[in-house]
Amino acid sequence: MAEQTLSRPAAARMRASPSRLGAAMRRNGAGYLFLAPWLLGFFLLTLGPALASLYLSFTDFDLLTTPEFIGAQNYVRMVTQDPKFAASMKVTLLYVLLSVPLKLAFALAVAMLLNRGMQGLPVYRAIFYLPSLLGTSVAIAVLWRQLFASDGLVNSLLAQIGIEGPSWISNPNYSLYTLVVLSVWQFGSPMIIFLAGLRQIPTDMYEAASLDGASPTRQFLRITLPLLSPVVFFNLVIQTIEAFKAFTPAFIISGGSGGPINSTLFYTLYLYQEAFGYFRMGYASALAWVLVIIIAIFTAISFLSTKYWVHHDD
C-alpha cells in the first residue's frame, strides 16, 4: 500500500496547493475535531471545577451554607497558625524523599540484574511486577495492616530469630516506614521502564569500554547511568508526583486518622480531614492549591536540573 501511494506524490501536492489559507483552516478544524473530547472534558471536568475550587480557597465555606469571601486568610493561616499543616507537610516530604529514591534505586538494581540476559527472565519480571499491579486496592492495604500488626507476619518471622518486634503500624516511630516499604515493594513499573531503557544502550559501547579495561563500576558510571538518565528522569518525575498524591494506603492503615500522633498524616489525608471531617471546604481548597503549587515546583526543579545530569545524545 505504501509503495502505491508513494508513486503519486506530485498529483497530491498539486491538489493541496490552491488555497493555503483554506488548507490551514481545514487543518485546524481537523485538529480541534480530534481534540474535542479532551477539550470538553478539560473545560467541564477539570478547569471549571479547578477554578471553582480556586475561588473557594479564598472563602470560608462549610459545605452547607453559602461561601463567604475572606481574602487570603486561609493561606495566611496555613503558614502562620496551623501546626498540622506543618506536620503533614513534613510527613509527606519525608515520604517522598525516602520512598522515591529507594524505589528507583531498587528498581534499577533489579533491572540491571535482570538485564544480563538470563534464563527465566519473563518469570522473574512477572513476579517483580505483580505487586505494583495490585497497586492501591483495598485488599493490599488490608494485607499491609495485617503484615505489620503486633502479632502479624513480620513479627512472627522476627520472633523465629528471637527478636520481639514492635507494633509497627501503631508506633509513631515506625508507622511511616511501613508505608515507605509498601511503596518500595511496588517497584515494578519503574523497573520495567528501566529494563526497556537498558535495552536501548548499544552493546558495542560496553565492548569498547571493556577493551579499554574499564571496570564494571566505571562502565556503570560512565555508560549506563548517563545513557539511562532520560529514563531516570522520567521515572523520577512520575514517581514524585504519585508520591505526593498518595492517599489510600495511609487512609486505610491509620483508619483515616493519620495517626498515631500524625505520623502518617499525609498531606492529602489532612486535606480530606479538613474537607469532610471538619467541614472546612474553603480551607481544604486552599490546601489543595498549595499542593498543586508544591508539585509544580518539584516538577519544575526536576526539569531545570536536567541540563546538569540528563544526557541528550542528539
> Binding other proteins by CB under 8 A: which of 21, 64, 161, 304?
64
By CB under 8 A, is residue 227 in contact with other proteins? no
In whole angstroms, how close is the CB of 98 to other proteins at the nearest point?
19
- Closest separation in Å from C-beta 42 to other proteins: 7
95 lies in the binding site for other proteins (CB under 8 A): no
Helices (H), the chain: 2-6, 9-16, 20-41, 48-56, 73-81, 83-115, 121-134, 138-147, 153-160, 175-185, 188-199, 203-211, 216-219, 225-245, 248-253, 267-272, 281-309
Sort 281 into a burial class: Cβ within 10 Å, 0-12 / 13-18 / 19+: buried
Smallest distance from other proteins to CB 18, Å: 14
**Residue 158 in contact with residue 165, Cβ under 8 Å?**
yes
C-alpha grid cell, residue 113: 540484574
Smallest gap, in angstroms, from Cβ of residue 183 to other proteins?
14
Residues sharing a CB contact under 8 Å with residue 82, sequence separation 6 or more, in sequence order:
none
Q: Which is nearer to other proteins, 97 or 142 (CB)?
A: 142
**Binding other proteins by CB under 8 A: which of 72, 86, 121, 163?**
121
Say how far apart CA 195 and CA 112 lie, in whole Å: 7
Q: Does 73 bind other proteins (CB under 8 A)?
A: no
Would you count residue 113 as binding other proteins (CB under 8 A)? yes
Judge whether 121 and 142 are in contact, CB under 8 Å: no
Q: Is 261 in the site for other proteins (CB under 8 A)?
A: yes
**At 93, is the secondary structure helix, strand, or coil?**
helix
| Least Cβ distance, residue 47 to other proteins (angstroms) | 9
Stretch touching other proteins by CB under 8 A, among 88-96, 97-105, 109-117: 109-117
| Segment 136 to 175, residues that bind other proteins, using CB under 8 A | 136-139, 142-144, 146-147, 149-153, 156-157, 159-160, 166-167, 169-173
C-beta of residue 190 within 8 angstroms of C-beta of residue 235: yes
| Residue 22 binds other proteins, judged by CB under 8 A | no
Cα(243)–Cα(180) distance, integer angstroms: 10
Q: Does 295 bind other proteins (CB under 8 A)?
A: yes
CA–CA distance, 230 with 110 (Å, rounded to integer): 18
Q: How far apart are CA 124 and CA 138, in angstroms?
A: 25
Q: How far is the C-alpha of 127 from the C-alpha of 175, rounded, in Å?
A: 26
Is residue 75 near other proteins by the rule CB under 8 A? no
Please, what is the minimum distance in Å from the beta carbon of residue 12 to other proteins?
3
Beta bridge partners of 69: 59
Told to check if 69 binds other proteins by CB under 8 A, we report: no
309 lines the binding site for other proteins (CB under 8 A): no
79 in contact with other proteins (CB under 8 A): no
List binders of other proteins among 24-53 (CB under 8 A).
27-28, 30-32, 34-35, 37-42, 44-46, 48-50, 52-53
296 contacts other proteins (rule: CB under 8 A): yes
